[in-house]
Structure 1
Amino acid sequence: MTTALQYYHDRMKRALDHIDRHLDDQLDLEAVSAVAAFSKFHFHRQFTAIFGLSVHRYVQLSRMKRASFRLAYRDDQTVIQIAMDAGYDAPDAFARAFRQRFGQSPSSFRKSPDWEPWLAAFGPLTDARSKLMQQTFNASDVTIQEVSPIPVAIMEHRGPPAKVGETIQQFIAWRKANGLSPRTSETFNVFHCDPRTTDPSDYRLDLCAGTERTFDADDQGVVSGIIPGGRCAVLRIVGNTDDLEPAALYLYRDWLPKSGEEARDFPLYCQRVSFFPEVPEHEAVADLFLPLK
């Protein structure tokens, strides 16, 4: 990539970062173009040419994505509050727009989200962000650490990856009921299989909360367990922590064969260090752990 093109892309990324950080503010064409130091008379065409979405559409989708996460995972906010934060002056207008995109009312989505229309609706936003915000990795990004055993409470998800959101909802509710907030209890995911090569009905993922308390299997299936200690290759992902497959691919395809290391008999797992929508999406952080012998 030429220096001029890199500089151009960096300016565009500044615009995306600004949008992420200021979803509650006025985000018109003039404000966003100024952050990237582009002329407002051309920026709408430049932005659309790179990302396939207009600035207005990109902002709309970003606000709606944050709103949908808050509806599904943050029951401390009312639908009216979420509607206002998404830029709607009236909850009725928000409800119409939400139903048009997802086929559910906000209240219905909060109770029982249908994630397949959700994934389809945000496909253009995901594609736009991947144009310039895909993190790349090199060997210096990987550290080898000696990790202590981690006692955890585990809720297993078994079934289609598209349904993981439902299990996350249940786990959040369980954590709240048991006083295991992410503020005081670390959050881990253990990936037992590769979603690209596993039959959806056999897909398995463990949602874990760090705790030394013990739990017998309750009516929600939460049990106690341990993430074993030992040497791990650790790779930090900043930004799109919804999709850790590129980072996993780097570890398995590029780093591991060249490292001289051998993978240990425990699955790949991650620690969710910070979460969207608590932080802007480009500031979400996850650490990916590849257990080593």
Structure 2
Amino acid sequence: MEEYKKRIVKTIQFIDNNLDTELSLEKVAEIAAYSPFHFHRIFRMITDETVQNYITRKRIEKSAFYLALRKNLTVKDIYHQFGFSNHSAFNKTFKKYYGKSPSEFRKLAPENFHKIQNKESKNGQIDTVFDQYICNIENLLNWRNMNLKIKVTELQEMNLAAVMSLGIANVEPSYNILIDWAKTKRLFPKENVKMLSVYHDSFKVTPPDKVRIHACMLLDEPLKKQEGEVFPETIEAGKFIIGSGEVTLHDFEQCWVSLFLWMKENNYAVRKVFPFEIYHTNFKEHPEGKMLVDFCIPIH
């Protein structure tokens, strides 16, 4: 099973980095070094969806994210970028996932993107729900001012050891795999070791059981090759919005929402690098379950 997962990790990274190209089953299976038939079965066993469904979902979710946050791109720019041959095919597929056309979605998204959720309705159809957030904007901003210190700064390149998690429920097991690996390398426990979560999907456009999160550890030297389920990952140097605070796990959504609102208020644009969290303390060691966290958004 570990060898299967290792190859699937490699394949998923390839798919996500090549959503703008032709991704046939044969081509993707070749990356995993399996026959198309064998690969299709293994991929579905590990991810709980077919290869084609995964590729289509990723293209639509990335399109939704760009429609909401990349206003410099036209709808045509976006669907061409993510491999759709024409507007009709893109429109039909997008509606299947979000219940609205791309143009309708874009009109609603500017003021409501922080409230977007994919939700299973009673008849099983997926709808886009612009529901009321747990607190209104004014209260959210007050909470942000009380709990987060925000700055814009340059960060150097970061070399990470990572373990992939598909679905929020699998994040803790991924960290356990990473820590076990780090112990064998005498990298853990170690003073000032930094753990990170890198978000390769947004909860606002991807269902929680499909979100891809990498459980990561910051390294002094880059990891040269994949070792079992642990693989190298790099966060490129650049400009970031960083919101820092001592919060509980329950506060994480408010932190991210308020930080993206701050980004919008201050006219910054998100960069094509994945947002991440840096943990400076362990919530399990705090009597109130709090931890010091940096929430980092890459920007231009």
Taking structure 2 as the reference length, the TM-score comes to 0.51
What SS does the corresponding residue of 1:271 show, helix, strand or coil? strand
Using the TM superposition, give the Cα deviation of residue 268 of structure 1 relative to its aligned residue in structure 2, in angstroms. 3.0
- In structure 2, do the counterparts of structure 1 residues 186 and 37 end up closer, same or farther at CA, with 3 Å as the change threshold? same
The percentage of aligned residue pairs carrying the same residue is 21
Q: CA deviation at 1:49?
A: 1.1
> Which of 118, 127, 134 does residue 167 from structure 2 map onto?
127
Higher mean Cα deviation, 107-116 or 33-42? 107-116
Q: 1:16 to 1:80 in 2, by over 3 A?
A: same
Measure how far apart 1:193 and its partner are: 4.4
Instruction: Describe the SS at the equivalent of 2:96.
Output: helix
Q: 2:241 maps to which residue?
A: 187
Once the two structures are superposed, the pairs formed by residues 264-279 of structure 1 within 5 Å of their partners are 268-272=293-297, 274=298
**AA aligned opposite 1:24:** D
Letter in 1 for 2:9: K
Q: Secondary structure at the match of 1:77?
A: coil
Match of residue 95, structure 1, among 82, 91, 95: 91
Could you tell me whether the CA contact under 8 Å between 2:20 and 2:80 is conserved in 1? no
Question: Structure 1 residues 40 and 208, CA, compared in 2 at 3 Å: closer, same or farther?
Answer: closer
User: Which amino acid in 2 is paired with 1:189?
Assistant: G
AA in 2 matched with 1:40: P
**What SS class does the counterpart of residue 65 from structure 1 fall into?**
helix
Deviation at 1:101, TM superposition (A): 1.4
Contact 2:280/2:292 (<8 A) preserved: no
Instruction: Please list the CA deviations of residues 201-233 of structure 1 after superposition, one character each: whole Å capped at 9, or x if unmatched.
Output: xx56642899xxxxxxxxx977xxxxxxxxxxx
**Secondary structure of the corresponding residue to residue 25 of structure 1:** coil
Amino acid at match of 1:49: M
Q: Which amino acid aligns with 2:118?
A: W
Q: Which residue of 2 aligns with 1:252?
A: 283
Select 1:86's aligned residue among 75, 82, 87. Answer: 82
- Cα deviation for residue 99 of structure 1 reads 1.9
Whole-Å separation in 1 of the counterparts to 2:23 and 2:247: 41
The answer as to whether partners of 2:243 and 2:296 remain within 8 angstroms in 1 is: yes
The gaps in structure 2 that reach 5 residues or longer are 121-125, 128-164, 183-187, 195-202, 205-236, 267-272
The structure having more radius of gyration, on CA atoms, is 1
* Cα distance between partner residues in 2 of 1:33 and 1:249: 39
- Give CA-to-partner distance per residue, 1:85-128, whole Å, 9 cap, x none: 22221112212221221122212222223654436669xx9539
Does residue 143 of structure 1 match 2:182?
A: no
Counterpart Cα distance in 2 of 1:14 and 1:184: 25
Q: In structure 1, what is the Cα distance between the partners aligned to 2:53 and 2:191?
A: 36
Match of 2:17 in 1: 21
1:38 aligned counterpart, secondary structure = coil
SS at match of 2:242: strand
Contact 1:95/1:106 (<8 A) preserved: yes
SS of the residue 1:269 aligns to: strand
Distance apart, 1:184 and its partner CA: 7.3
- Who is 1:118 aligned against? 118
Distance in structure 2 (CA, Å) of the matches to 1:133 and 1:22: 28
Q: TM-score, normalised by structure 1?
A: 0.52
Distance 1:267 1:10, change over 3 A: closer
Residues 208/17 of structure 1: CA separation in 2 closer, same or farther (3 Å cut): closer
Specify whether residues 20 and 185 from structure 1 end up closer, same or farther in structure 2 by C-alpha distance, changes over 3 A only: closer
Q: CA deviation at 1:7?
A: 2.2
Alignment partner, residue 222 of structure 2: none
1:32 to 1:266, Cα distance in 2 relative to 1, 3 A? closer
1:170 matched to which residue of 2?
A: none
Distance 1:93 1:209 in 2: 32
Secondary structure of the residue that 1:88 maps to in structure 2? coil
Unaligned stretches of 5+ in structure 1?
Answer: 146-160, 163-182, 211-219, 223-238, 279-293
